[in-house]
Amino acid sequence: MRIYNVHDAKTNLSRLIEETANGGEPFVIAKLGKPLVKVVRIDAGTPKPPRRIRFMKGQMKVPAEFCTMGSDEISDLFEGKLR
């Protein structure tokens, strides 16, 4: 993404807006190196972040004994017993 300082942005604002409006990439205006605003096309929208919760719903099945699976082996390891 292009970054322009306030002076450069003011000098070239019409051209920068025209480029962005015609499908160019958004640009950032910064003051003293700190970003202040981002200029984007209105119809560009904001990308939705990917949904991570329940993204595999219905694709796998957890066995009923899941919470107790391997409990004997785990107990033996904690007690120092080797199998």
**For residue range 28-74, what is the model confidence (pLDDT) as tens digits?**
999 999 999 999 988 866 677 877 788 788 888 888 999 999 898 88
Region of 70 (left: φ > 0; alpha: ψ -120 to 50; beta: rest) is: left
Higher-confidence position of 6 and 1: 6
Judged against a pLDDT cut of 70, whether residue 83 lies above it is answered with: no
Domain ranges of the chain: 2-41
Judged against a pLDDT cut of 90, whether residue 9 lies above it is answered with: yes
| CATH number for the segment(s) 2-41 | 3.40.1620.10
User: Which residues on neighbouring strands pair with residue 3, listed in sequence order?
Assistant: 28
Buried b (16+ CB within 10 A) or exposed e, 28-58: ebbeeeeeeeebbeeeeeeeeeeeeeeeeee
Band of pLDDT at residue 16, cut at 50, 70 and 90: very high
